[in-house]
Amino acid sequence: MKNNMLLKAAILTTAMLSTSAQAETKTLTLMLDWFVNPNHGPIVIAKERGYFAEQGVNVVIQEPADPSMPPKLVAANKIDLAITYQPNLTIDVAAGLPLIRAATLIATPLNTLMVLDNGKINSMADLKGKKIGIAIAGNEEATIGTMLKTGGVSYDDVQIINVGWALSSSLASGKVDAIWGGLRNFETNQLELEGFKSKAFFPEEHGVPAYDELVFVANANTYDKVAIKAFNKALEKATTYIVNHPQASWKEFVAYAPDTLNNELNKRAWNDTLTRFALRPSAVDLNRYDDYAEFMYSQKIIKTLPKAQDYVLAL
């Protein structure tokens, strides 16, 4: 009888602990900026290796139908977290959207002004009178114009052509002489696989302030600070694992969706992205955000000047 009572008590205690653990698990919906690719390595590894679960968060990963929508959905309280770009976050905050930066994913710019490495264009000065292809019309005048100035070239001295998403093919075919928006971890490798060697001019080396390429944003009014801290801790553990075990983590990454991820372009991009991941996702330099905001304000990209302390979460 006594043994039966002890057994029942043990079963009851186990059930209560299990229920309590389930109750403490927080589900976070995370919408990516694009389809899953090597830029999202720490997220996939944190989920696949159980690091999110260890921290008591269940992260539901979603891919956007429209890449411009994730931050807007966060602002509307439709999802908990989204990936966006630091410049875009500043634009959204300046426009009044209730967003905060919750963590960093890619801690350096990836965007470049790219040309073929054929000896024809070796500096900004060589772009005078040339055609530059862009994917999306928007704020290219500010960034491209600033870069060109370092070579004594005016923005009016070049021809901007919207080539859509055909950046690499437009450059390879000679339709344009340069492309803006080619990523240093993807387009460089894509062109090389197609038999073309490229040269990249980096914005942060040509007058444009450095910025974080990819950041996580949450709703400024309703964010769950405890859950975000747990999310960031798991993300940091995953990033550390990736840096320490690049090849093993690559295999685990592609296992997430082998049909779309396991190819030579992604493998090359994976190796080129390793040094770009934020080793401390929670860490942030407020001056970095303010410097870029001031650049955008001076270039009339934004009409109001937000302060980093107001939209960058301190954890």
SS3 61: strand
* Residue 79, pLDDT score: 98
* Residue 20, pLDDT score: 42
Q: Do 169 and 198 form a contact (C-beta atoms < 8 A)?
A: no
Residue pLDDT, tens place only, 41-53: 999 999 999 999 9
* Residue 6, pLDDT score: 46
**Residue 175: what residue type?**
K
Q: Per the confidence metrics, is the pTM higher than 0.85?
A: yes
* Residue 11, pLDDT score: 47
Domains of the chain and CATH, by start: 2-108+211-311 (3.40.190.10), 111-205 (3.40.190.10)
Distances (CA, A) of 256 to 206, 259, 262: 38, 9, 10
* Residue 197, pLDDT score: 96
Mean pLDDT (whole number) for 107-128: 97
In the chain, what is the straight-line distance between the N-terminal and C-terminal CA atoms, in Å?
53
Tell me what percent of the residues of the chain surpass a pLDDT of 70: 92
Beta-strand ranges (E) seen in the chain are: 26-31, 57-62, 81-84, 99-106, 111-116, 131-134, 159-162, 178-183, 198-201, 214-219
Sheet holding 214-219, edge to edge: 57-62, 26-31, 81-84, 214-219, 99-106
Burial of residue 56, with CB atoms counted within 10 A of its CB: 0-12 exposed, 13-18 middle, 19 or more buried: middle
